[in-house]
Amino acid sequence: MKTLVVGAAMIDMLMKIEALPKSGEDVLCSESGIVIGGCAYNAANTLRNLESAADLCVPVGKGPYADMIRSELERCGYDILIQDDSQDNGYCLDLVEATGERTFITAQGIEGAFQKKWLDSLDMDQYDSIYVAGYQVCGQGGQAIGEWLCGHGDKQIFFAPGPVICSIDAAVMEQIFSVHPILHLNEKEAMDFTRASHQPDPGNSGGADGYVPAEDILDAVRELYSRTGNLVIVTLGEKGTVYYEGDELHTVPSVKTTVVDTIGAGDSHIGAVIGGLKKGLGREESIRLANRVAAAVVSVQGPVMDKETFEKRMEEHL
Domain count across the chain: 1
Report yes or no on 16 lying in a domain: no
Report yes or no on 173 lying in a domain: yes
CATH code assigned at 161: 3.40.1190.20
CA 271 to chain centre: 8
- What domain range includes position 148? 2-7+38-89+111-316
How many angstroms separate the CA atoms of 297 and 263, rounded? 8
Q: Report the predicted TM-score, pTM, of the whole model to 2 decimal places.
A: 0.90
- Report the run of H or E that residue 47 belongs to, with start and end: helix 39-49
How many angstroms separate the CA atoms of 250 and 161, rounded? 21
How does DSSP assign 104-142, residue by residue?
EEEE--GGGS--HHHHHTS-GGGEEEEEEEGGGGSSTTH
Q: What is the dihedral of CA 116, 117, 118, 119, to 10 degrees?
A: 60
C-beta of residue 199 within 8 angstroms of C-beta of residue 206: no
List the chain residues with pLDDT less than 70.
197-214
213-216-219 Cα angle (round to 5): 60
Q: Which residues contact 152 (CB under 8 A, 6 or more apart)?
A: 124, 130, 179
Strand partners, 130: 4, 157
Report yes or no on 21 lying in a domain: no
Q: What is the pLDDT of residue 206?
A: 44
Predicted confidence (pLDDT) per residue in 242-290, tens digit: 999 999 999 999 999 999 888 899 999 999 999 999 999 999 999 999 9
Q: What is the pLDDT of residue 199?
A: 52
Q: What is the dihedral of CA 149, 151, 157, 163, to 10 degrees?
A: 10
C-beta of residue 182 within 8 angstroms of C-beta of residue 233: yes
Alpha-carbon torsion (208, 235, 59, 9), positive or negative: positive
Q: Which residues contact 313 (CB under 8 A, 6 or more apart)?
A: 296, 297, 299, 300, 305
How many angstroms separate the CA atoms of 137 and 171, rounded? 11
Burial of 80 (0-12, 13-18, 19+ CB in 10 A): middle
238-241-242 Cα angle (round to 5): 140
Report yes or no on 233 lying in a domain: yes
Alpha-carbon torsion (35, 39, 42, 48), positive or negative: negative
Report yes or no on 101 lying in a domain: no
Report yes or no on 98 lying in a domain: no
- DSSP category for residue 16: E
How many angstroms separate the CA atoms of 34 and 85, rounded? 23
Report yes or no on 278 lying in a domain: yes
Report yes or no on 22 lying in a domain: no
Q: Which residues contact 229 (CB under 8 A, 6 or more apart)?
A: 180
Q: What is the pLDDT of residue 197?
A: 67
115-121-126 Cα angle (round to 5): 125
Expressed in angstroms, the distance from the first to the final Cα of the chain is 29
